[in-house]
Amino acid sequence: MKAVILALAAVSILALTACVSTSSTYAQRLGPAPRVQYDTEYMAKVEAANRQVGSRVVWINPPTKPVEEEVASAD
């Protein structure tokens, strides 16, 4: 019984150290997260179409669209 507990503890410690060591390099490879916002125009169209047929929409994962970055002008 002690051997099983010791083995489980060793495996969990190894798993935790593996997660800690890979998080920073993984994030660096991904780069910054893209900025997104809800696609309210699309949501309004879908909700209006469903209202006409008498159904209701519940958004579990609302549709998103990327945010257009403002480009700084050089004067």
pTM (two decimals): 0.49
DSSP-derived secondary structure for 31-52:
-SPPPEEE-HHHHHHHHHHHHH
Our CA angle for 31, 28, 62, nearest 5°, is 40
CB-CB neighbours of 43 under 10 Å: 14
* Mean pLDDT, the chain, integer: 81
pLDDT at 75 over 60: no
Encode pLDDT of 35-61 as tens digits: 889 999 999 999 999 999 999 999 999
Kindly tell me if the per-residue pLDDT of 14 is higher than 70.
Answer: yes
Count how many residues are written for the chain. Answer: 75
- pLDDT band per the 50, 70, 90 thresholds, residue 4: confident
Mean pLDDT across the stretch 13-28?
A: 66
38/67 Cα distance (integer angstroms): 9
Q: Could you state, in order of their start, the residue ranges of all structural domains in the chain? A: 1-32, 34-68
